[in-house]
């Protein structure tokens, strides 16, 4: 049996991630069987390589191999493409035509973006998987085929099943052996290696010196989210190779070619019911949080004000106050009976005059800047000072990506 490293060289796979090696190993082991395989992973991770591995290492390697992008075929013609049609089956069907399952008999068919199949086509596919039988569009004759099916998707099929967009029985029939291709952000040690390989290929293609990454550029690449995965990294390497005259690439140069952030990966859970949506920027969310906090504090003041005014702590809170406290303390099971020892330390033995004396006592008012701009800039400066200018550690301390930190340093003019 071929070694994993040999397979990587044969199929042009780059990387040493254990999760990537595991995916290759599963593909190698399952290749000798006729078991249906479902490949999952985000867009751009390289899922299309694994059906080729399975086909080339299988007894069907001398048969046909066809890759079908199910999302690229219109819904009205997908059945004809997969299963064929008879002459006159529909407008424009001037001749009978064989479908992919008939053409690939004895070989392997790769159904990419299988979650995009219409529900009626999913029923037809299920029949092929279970019995090897299919019927051409416009025909009543049952035909047989012997095809190995490998499917792939970047969609969460469990969620698609729940929403009624994918058949559960088809999912279990396809998912006999699952192979998950890890996203690039989970293969951090492979990122720099891939970038060097891509830049070397483009340097050879365009007849120019290859790119050289500085240490801060390598760190910067490893800290990115890479929503487009390997495809995005390759695109970045090509852009920089062609446009930049400098061959030594720093983090600041890479930053110019990175797309604006489209995700808010904050360490809080924000729901639409709370008034948040995916289009809000970090600053918008911070403003909303501050306004919500101000409203909550005002509500708490009302409760305490009523308690002070009455001169005694009530044994039972009214529903409005209970709702406010539930929100403030995030305790859905907050009891109606109010416990002064746990929540508010106000003695019931004090007279209203004593309350007034406390309330009217002179006190010093400390004003603090509420400017998000100033506070954010101050936090960034403190983090940089704490870690002696090491941006990677400062970004981790602030809970933001290193890319976001680079952008804010430029925005605030921090030297």
Asked if 153 and 249 sit in the same domain, the reply is no
Helices within 69-187 (DSSP H only): 78-83, 100-103, 119-131, 157-162, 168-174
Q: Report which listed range, 220-229, 268-277, 282-291, is most confident.
A: 220-229
Asked if 195 and 335 sit in the same domain, the reply is no
Is 266 among the domain residues?
A: no
Containing structural domain, residue 402: 372-412
Asked if 168 and 230 sit in the same domain, the reply is no
Segment 116-144, tens digit of pLDDT: 999 999 999 999 999 999 999 999 999 99
Q: Work out the average pLDDT over 333-347.
A: 44
Q: What is the mean pLDDT of the chain?
A: 83
Asked if 355 and 289 sit in the same domain, the reply is yes
Question: To which residue do tokens 């299963």 refer?
Answer: 83
Main-chain dihedrals φ then ψ at residue 295, nearest 5 degrees: -65, -40
Asked if 116 and 23 sit in the same domain, the reply is yes
Is 263 among the domain residues?
A: no
Lowest-confidence segment of 58-72, 177-191, 355-369 by average pLDDT: 355-369
Per the structure, how many domains does the chain have?
4
Main-chain dihedrals φ then ψ at residue 276, nearest 5 degrees: -105, 150
Is 366 among the domain residues?
A: no
Rounded Cα distance between 158 and 164, Å, is 10
The pLDDT, as a whole number, for residue 287 is 63
Asked if 351 and 236 sit in the same domain, the reply is no
Regarding predicted confidence, which is higher, 21 or 270? 21
pLDDT at residue 148 is higher than 80: yes
CATH number at residue 117: 3.40.50.300
pLDDT at residue 339 is higher than 70: no
Asked if 162 and 227 sit in the same domain, the reply is no
Residue 39: which H helix or E strand, with range?
strand 37-40
Q: Which of 161, 182, 203 corresponds to the end of one domain? A: 182
Asked if 119 and 142 sit in the same domain, the reply is yes
pLDDT at residue 356 is higher than 70: no
Is 307 among the domain residues?
A: yes
Q: Which of 144, 166, 182 corresponds to the end of one domain? A: 182
Asked if 296 and 343 sit in the same domain, the reply is yes
Cα-atom radius of gyration of the chain, to the nearest Å?
A: 31
* Closest by Cα among 143, 136, 120, 142 to 86: 136
Asked if 119 and 159 sit in the same domain, the reply is yes
Asked if 152 and 17 sit in the same domain, the reply is yes
Q: Which of 182, 215, 240 corresponds to the end of one domain? A: 182
Segment 28-75, tens digit of pLDDT: 999 999 999 999 999 999 999 999 999 999 999 999 999 999 999 999
Dihedral sign, Cα of residue 244, residue 246, residue 248, residue 249: negative
């Amino acid at each position: 049996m071929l070694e994993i490293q040999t397979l990587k060289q044969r199929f042009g796979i780059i990387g040493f991630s254990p999760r990537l090696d595991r995916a290759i190993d599963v593909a190698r082991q399952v290749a000798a069987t006729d078991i249906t395989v479902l490949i999952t992973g985000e867009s751009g991770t390289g899922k299309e390589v694994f059906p080729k591995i399975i086909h080339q290492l299988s007894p069907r390697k001398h048969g046909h191999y066809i890759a079908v992008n199910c999302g690229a075929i219109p819904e009205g013609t997908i059945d004809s493409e997969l299963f064929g049609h008879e002459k006159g089956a529909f407008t424009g069907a001037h001749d009978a035509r064989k479908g992919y399952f008939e053409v690939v008999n004895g070989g392997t068919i790769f159904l990419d973006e299988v979650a995009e199949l219409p529900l009626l086509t999913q029923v037809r596919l299920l029949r092929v998987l279970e019995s090897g039988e299919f019927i051409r569009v416009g025909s009543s004759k049952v035909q047989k085929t012997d095809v190995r099916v490998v499917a792939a998707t970047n969609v969460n099929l469990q969620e698609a099943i729940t929403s009624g967009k994918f058949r559960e029985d088809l999912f279990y029939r396809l998912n006999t052996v699952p192979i998950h291709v890890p996203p690039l952000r989970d293969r951090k040690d492979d990122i720099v290696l891939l970038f060097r390989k891509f830049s070397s290929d483009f340097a050879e293609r365009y007849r120019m010196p290859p790119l050289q990454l500085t240490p801060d550029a390598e760190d910067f690449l490893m800290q990115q989210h890479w929503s487009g995965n390997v495809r995005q990294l390759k695109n970045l390497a090509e852009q920089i190779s062609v446009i930049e005259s400098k061959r030594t690439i720093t983090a600041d140069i890479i930053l110019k070619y990175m797309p604006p952030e489209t995700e808010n990966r904050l360490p809080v859970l924000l729901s639409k019911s709370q008034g948040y949506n995916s289009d809000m920027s970090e600053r918008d969310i911070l403003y909303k949080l501050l306004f919500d906090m101000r409203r909550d504090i005002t509500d708490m003041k009302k409760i305490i004000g009523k308690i002070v005014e009455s001169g005694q702590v009530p044994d039972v809170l009214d529903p409005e106050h209970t709702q406010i406290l539930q929100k403030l303390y995030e305790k859905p099971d907050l009891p109606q009976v109010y416990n002064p020892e746990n929540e508010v330390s106000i003695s019931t033995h004090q007279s209203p005059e004593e309350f007034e004396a406390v309330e009217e006592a002179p006190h010093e008012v400390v004003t603090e800047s509420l400017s998000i701009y100033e506070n954010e800039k101050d936090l960034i400066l403190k983090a940089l000072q704490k870690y002696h200018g090491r941006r990677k550690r400062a970004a981790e301390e602030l809970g933001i990506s290193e890319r976001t930190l680079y952008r804010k340093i430029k925005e605030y003019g921090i030297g």
